[in-house]
A and B are shown apart, each in its own frame.
Chain A
Amino acid sequence: MTPQQRRAWYGLAIGIVWTLSIVALFVIKGATAFDKDTGMRVTAYALFLAGILAYVAMMYVTGWKMARDGAIQDERDRLILRRVPVYQMFAVILTLAVWMVVLTETYSDEGQIPIVFPNLIFFSAIVVNIVFASAGTLIAYWRAR
């Protein structure tokens, strides 16, 4: 396992915990509580920011350790890592497509969607983008075997 793969596994672990935390919050409190319950809104924003901070901290610490240990990122690693943004873009587009279809089918009769959804769409796009920075790295290395 290369240092980049190890880092990707850490990132994926953080991403999964992060995603489950946000999903659990919305499942427990209900999506519509986001509009009415200020505490829930603050918790959701705090979770969102905490995930980003945890991910950035992990990238910083692993990057520092890799530099300390003299870990090499060679030409094959760079070639593999160049594919990662493609997986990220695909995952984000797929997420947006799912939102579009689900919201259209659910709220087409009403002609409007609850105000919570722009927040959720934004959260999910960012979360998926970050999770797929790691998942995409693992997929790219797996495909290069």
Chain B
Amino acid sequence: MGTDEVKNRIRRLRFDLGEMTQEELARRVGCTRQTIIALEQGKYLPSVALAFRIARTFGVKVEDVFQYENDK
């Protein structure tokens, strides 16, 4: 089965989008700043809906924000 891992580029995309703050991103996608911090640190996997909202905020596809990796 292998080990599932989901990485994300939220921090990178925030800086690409005019150094958007975590607070601003949180406000735009409707979550708390603590959730953005947990996402960036890879400690929390978002729901599909939140993943789409984050991608849309950055104007990219979900796969451009989140990358699924499996070591098998």
Number of interface residues of A (CB under 8 A): 8
Give every chain A residue within 8 A of B50 (Cβ-Cβ): 74-75
Bound form: Cα–Cα A2–B31 in Å: 11
Q: Which residues of A contact B44 (CB under 8 A)?
A: 76, 144
Interface extent on B, as a size class? 10 to 19
Give bound CA distance, A13 to B64, whole Å: 45
A-B contact count (CB 8 A): 27
Q: Which of B32, B38, B43, B50 has the most chain A CB within a 10 Å cutoff?
A: B32
Query: Do B30 and A72 touch across chains, with their CB atoms under 8 A apart?
Result: yes
User: Once bound together, how far apart are the Cα atoms of A74 and B50, in whole Å?
Assistant: 10
Given contacts A75-B46, A75-B50, A144 and B38 within 8 Å (CB-CB): yes
CB of A83 to closest CB in B, whole Å: 14
A145 to B42, CA, bound (A): 11
